[in-house]
Structure formats: C-alpha cells, structure tokens
Amino acid sequence: MNEHINTKNIVLIGMSGVGKTSVGKYIAEELRMKFIDTDDIIIFNSGKTIKYIFDKYGEEYFRTLEKEVIDSTSMHKEIVISTGGGVVLSSLNIDILKTNGIIFLLEANLNTICNNIRSSISSKDHRPLLEDSFNLRNKIEGIYRKRKNLYLSSADHVVSVDDRSIEDIGDEIINTLRSLYSCG
Ligand code: S3P
C-alpha cells in the first residue's frame, strides 16, 4: 500500500497481548509514519525494565513515567502511538492523547490474550501485572473487568482482533482513516 494520509496521530489502546505494537508497526510502515511505543520509551529513558521499575519503585511511579511519556509523545503530529495497557487508568492521559490523536481500541477475547501473552518472549520483563502464569486467565479477567468501561469510553473506534492477522487488523484501521479523511 505505502500511501500517505494526512491524519491525526493514530493511537492504539487495549489490554496486554492484543497486538498493539505489531499492528502499530504495520500501520506506520504502510502509511510511512513514525512509530512510537510508550513502554519502549519508558525503558529507554530509564534504562530499566518495566518489571524492575514496578518491583523497585511501585506501580504508581511507573504511571508517573508513563504520563510523562504520553505528554511528550502527544506533542508530535502524524505518528502512530502504541500505548501500555494501563494508559486508560488516567483520564488525563486520554484527554492528552485525544488532542492530536484518534484512538483505536483493539479488543480480544481471553483466549487470544492468554495465547499471545504466553507466546511473547518479553512478557516476563514487560508485564509484571501478569507475572503469575498459573493464574494468568483469572488475572487478565480481573484486570479487564476493572478497565472495560474505561477502554470503551476512551475509544473513538473499536477493532476486534480475534483470529485475524496483523495485516488484516491494520488494514481495517487504515481503511477507517481513509474514509474519515476522504483519501485513497
Ligand atoms: C500494563 C501493560 C504493559 C506495561 C505495563 C503495565 C498494564 O504494556 O505498560 O506492564 O497496566 O496493563 P502492554 O499493554 O504492552 O503489555
């Protein structure tokens, strides 16, 4: 495809394991936009893994770092932003992301999320909230129950990812943008 669409920032939200990073990279490549993963920036800036930050300084401190990264990345224009699953816990994060961006929620069922998390090699260092692989399903269910309304109310568009390829999901988002911005 490799086209250019004059769009706002494309922001991907959703639970861990729904494919935000993979889909974000695909969209960025297709639309020749810059890609930013907010967790990667936190890791890069701090020089520490997310697990280390949670263990040593606690979740609240991680959320402060996350907020700083949301603030700075939201100032950019025409980039693709993949966020951490907990970004919706702060309504301020969402307000800031929406100033320059359009928010797509990636939604998946529990099986998809569990399978993706289990097969991800970086989960251990990246997802301290889902460390307990014995109770993974229950953990995910509990977190999702608490966040579901926040995800839905934050999203401009909802995209289901179950049993779909990265390309298929990414193309749906690109097509939505095309129709919004009457391009293509
Ligand atoms: C988190 C999700 C993780 C990461 C951190 C907290 C969450 O990102 O930001 O472990 O609260 O759901 P992913 O959504 O990329 O797994």
Q: Which atom of ligand 1 is nearest to the CA of 17?
A: 16
Predicted confidence at residue 2, as pLDDT, reads: 61
Distance 85 CA to ligand 1 centre (A): 4
Query: Could you read off the pLDDT of 75-97 as tens digits, one per residue?
Result: 999 999 999 999 999 999 999 99
Determine the residue of 105, 126, 132 to mutate for testing ligand 1's pocket, defined as the one with the most ligand atoms within 8 A of the Cβ atom.
126
106 lines ligand 1 (CB under 6 A): no
Query: Could you read off the pLDDT of 3-23 as tens digits, one per residue?
Result: 777 789 999 999 999 999 999
Q: How far is CA 53 from CA 43, 66, 75, 129, in A?
A: 9, 11, 25, 12
Residue ranges of the chain whose pLDDT lies below 70: 1-2, 183-184
Strand pairing report for 101-107 and 9-13: parallel
CA–CA dist 86, 117 (Å, integer): 16
Helices 166-180 and 20-31: crossing angle in degrees, nearest 10, is 50
Nearest CA to ligand 1 atom 11: 86
CA–CA dist 106, 74 (Å, integer): 19
Global pTM reads 0.96
